[in-house]
């Protein structure tokens, strides 16, 4: 197995989940995230907006807004291979389909946030190993973005059990996450 095979296999397993299972499991995962210390203590949170059977983040985003936390969502700069966090004030009103059809802030809702101001990043991913190593879609967007946050920023990955594998064959540029939350367990504090 190599990275691409792991990626294809994990994507297939995730896409095989029915909408109802995605909803149920996402609900369990979201409840765990909301009760976590990392979430409760974070004032500024960057959250991905789910697409294609990723763990859904709508409830989490709505909870952040209601709790008075500063929420930002990523804008993908494909040419620059960068992610730009943008503060969200209205969910989903501020959003429209952007890169690859993922919801992103509308032009008049662009409010860039300094990566150094973010306490918690809720990251998307395709597959994870138990050590927190992460395999994304292959663009390196999060691997470039995460090192721009401040020391102490927590990287948390909501994921379905079907995305947890023995080995993702991480490379030197792959940034691991600190916490993985699935519908069955929390694998935590994996990186200091
Ligand atoms: N910090 C970095 N600086 C420059 N290039 C990088 C960096 N991180 C990753 N890359 C490059 O980006 C490409 C894709 O990386 P990788 O396969 O790890 O993506 P990924 O982790 O699956 O994607 P993503 O982070 O967008 O979810 C590779 O060619 C990798 O070398
Ligand atoms: Mg990577």
Instruction: Tell me the per-residue pLDDT of 82-93, one tens digit each, with 9 for 90 and over.
Output: 999 999 999 999
Ligand 2 centroid–CA 68 distance in Å is 32
> Which of 140, 144, 155, 163 to mutate for ligand 1's pocket (most ligand atoms within 8 Å of CB)?
140
Does ligand 1 have an atom closer than 6 angstroms to the CB of 117? no
> Does a structural domain hold residue 176?
yes
> Does a structural domain hold residue 156?
yes
> Does a structural domain hold residue 137?
yes
Mean of the pLDDT values across residues 95-105?
95
Beta-strand (E) ranges in 117-185? Answer: 120-122, 127-128, 134-135, 154-158, 179-181
> Does a structural domain hold residue 81?
yes
pLDDT at 192: 45
Mean of the pLDDT values across residues 49-75?
97
pLDDT at 188: 86
Mean of the pLDDT values across residues 54-79?
97
Cβ(17)–Cβ(25) below 8 Å: yes
> Which of 143, 149, 168 to mutate for ligand 1's pocket (most ligand atoms within 8 Å of CB)?
143
pLDDT at 191: 53
Q: What is the pLDDT of residues 26-38, one digit of tens each?
A: 999 999 999 999 9
Q: How confident is the model at residue 190 (pLDDT cuts 50, 70, 90)?
A: low
Query: Residue 162 above 70 pLDDT?
Result: yes
As a whole number, the mean pLDDT across the chain is: 96
Mean of the pLDDT values across residues 137-158?
97
Domain range for residue 48? 3-187
> Does a structural domain hold residue 192?
no
The residue whose CA is least distant from atom 14 of ligand 1 is: 140
Beta-strand (E) ranges in 36-111? Answer: 44-47, 70-77, 82-88, 95-97, 103-105
Ligand 1 centroid–CA 37 distance in Å is 29
Mean of the pLDDT values across residues 106-119?
97
Cβ(49)–Cβ(73) below 8 Å: yes
> Does a structural domain hold residue 120?
yes
Domain CATH number, residue 127: 3.40.50.10420
Instruction: For residue 179, give the nearest of 67, 3, 36, 73 by alpha carbon.
Output: 36
Number of domains in the chain: 1
Query: Residue 185 above 70 pLDDT?
Result: yes
pLDDT at 143: 98
Does ligand 1 have an atom closer than 6 angstroms to the CB of 143? yes
Tokens representing 109 are 């809702």
pLDDT at 1: 85
């Amino acid at each position: 197995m190599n990275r691409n095979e792991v990626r294809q296999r994990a994507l297939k397993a995730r896409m095989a989940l029915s909408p109802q299972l995605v909803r149920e499991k996402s609900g369990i995962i979201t409840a765990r995230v909301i009760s976590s210390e990392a979430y409760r203590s974070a004032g500024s949170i960057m959250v991905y907006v789910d697409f294609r059977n990723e763990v859904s983040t709508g409830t989490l985003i709505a909870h952040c807004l209601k709790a008075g936390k500063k929420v930002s969502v990523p804008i993908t700069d494909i040419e620059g291979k960068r992610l730009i966090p943008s503060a969200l004030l209205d969910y989903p009103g501020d959003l429209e389909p952007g890169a690859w059809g993922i919801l992103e802030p509308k032009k008049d809702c662009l409010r860039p946030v300094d990566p150094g101001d973010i306490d918690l990043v809720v990251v998307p991913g395709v597959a994870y190993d138990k050590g927190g190593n992460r395999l994304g879609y292959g663009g390196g967007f999060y691997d470039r973005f995460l090192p721009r946050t401040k020391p102490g920023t927590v990287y948390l990955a909501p994921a379905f059990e079907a995305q947890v594998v023995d080995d993702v064959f991480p490379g030197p540029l792959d940034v691991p996450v600190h916490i993985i939350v699935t519908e069955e367990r929390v694998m935590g504090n994996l990186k200091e």
